[in-house]
């Protein structure tokens, strides 16, 4: 009887420690991502979703360590959202009806291809960006592609402005925060002969009037535009 009582008490302490750690983890996640809840019921609901997502992440990463997957998962600012909510968030990719899908001509060379290729290992990719509630994924995709090309041609990895593309490419068919396509952004960059840096033209998460910054910075033209060569 006494041993059973001791076991029950120890289990209670263990559960309390686990609950305390989970509380701290929850509070830290809220602080990190500036989460605000207007009602306690809302917070309780979001926490339940967050805990379910956290458990899914932990199970997946355990399976990865056993060789069942080739990648790991991590908790981010969307951890309190359901799969349905995330799927219903703005994506913004609108493929033009007149998009030219004809393949380009390729020149084959006598070389072998690697089994795999990670652009992060080649230092051609910057950190992941957040588009927020603006359907601007097309602009971020175009900017990230240009960053890799700039790194390959100029040797410098620089964050380029998705906001510049968001604001200045509507004349080429894009719709700002209502969606667009990468080719529309590329047409703007070609005619404009460049794109602003993210530093000189920061992201706001909403469609703005097209403008150019006034002061030049390294690798920029006088209008703060990156010259792609």
Give the tens place of pLDDT for each residue, 200-214. 899 999 999 988 664
Domain 10-85 class?
mainly alpha
pLDDT of residue 113: 81
pLDDT of residue 97: 75
| The pLDDT of residue 120 is above 90 | no
Percent of the chain with pLDDT over 70: 80
3-class secondary structure, 119: coil
> What is the chain's Cα-based Rg?
24
3-class secondary structure, 220: strand
Q: Which CATH number fits domain 90-99+122-229: 3.90.70.10, 3.30.9.10, 3.60.15.10, 3.30.450.40?
A: 3.90.70.10
pLDDT of residue 217: 35
Q: What is the mean pLDDT of residues 116-134?
A: 86
pLDDT of residue 211: 81
Q: What is the mean pLDDT of residues 113-138?
A: 87
Q: Which of 55-69, 144-158, 166-180, 199-213 has the highest mean pLDDT?
A: 55-69
| The pLDDT of residue 15 is above 70 | no
Contact 211, 167 (CB under 8 A): yes
Where residue 19 falls among pLDDT bands split at 50, 70, 90?
Answer: confident
| The pLDDT of residue 187 is above 70 | yes
The Cα–Cα gap between 162 and 38 comes to: 32
Residues of the chain with CATH 1.10.287.2250: 10-85
Contact 129, 161 (CB under 8 A): no
Model pTM greater than 0.85? no
Residues of the chain with CATH 3.90.70.10: 90-99+122-229
Q: What is the mean pLDDT of residues 186-200?
A: 86
């Amino acid at each position: 009887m006494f041993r059973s009582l001791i076991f029950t008490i120890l289990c209670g302490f263990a559960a309390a420690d686990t609950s305390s750690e989970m509380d701290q983890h929850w509070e830290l996640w809220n602080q990190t991502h500036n989460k605000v809840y207007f009602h306690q019921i809302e917070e309780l609901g979001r926490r339940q979703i967050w805990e379910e997502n956290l458990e899914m992440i932990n199970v997946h990463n355990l399976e990865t360590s056993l060789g069942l997957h080739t990648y790991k998962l991590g908790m981010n600012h969307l951890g309190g959202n359901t799969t349905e909510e995330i799927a219903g968030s703005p994506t913004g990719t609108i493929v033009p009806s007149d998009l030219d899908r004809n393949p380009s001509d390729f020149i084959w060379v006598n070389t072998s291809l690697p089994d795999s290729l990670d652009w992060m290992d080649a230092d051609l990719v910057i950190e992941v960006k957040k588009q927020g509630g603006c359907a601007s994924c097309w602009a971020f995709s175009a900017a990230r592609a240009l960053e890799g090309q700039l790194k390959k041609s100029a040797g410098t990895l620089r964050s380029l402005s998705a906001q510049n593309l968001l604001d200045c490419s509507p004349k080429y068919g894009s719709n700002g925060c209502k969606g667009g396509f990468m080719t529309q952004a590329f047409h703007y960059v070609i005619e404009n002969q460049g794109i602003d840096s993210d530093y000189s033209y920061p992201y706001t998460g909403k469609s703005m009037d097209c403008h150019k910054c006034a002061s030049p910075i390294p690798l920029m033209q006088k209008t703060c535009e990156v010259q792609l060569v």
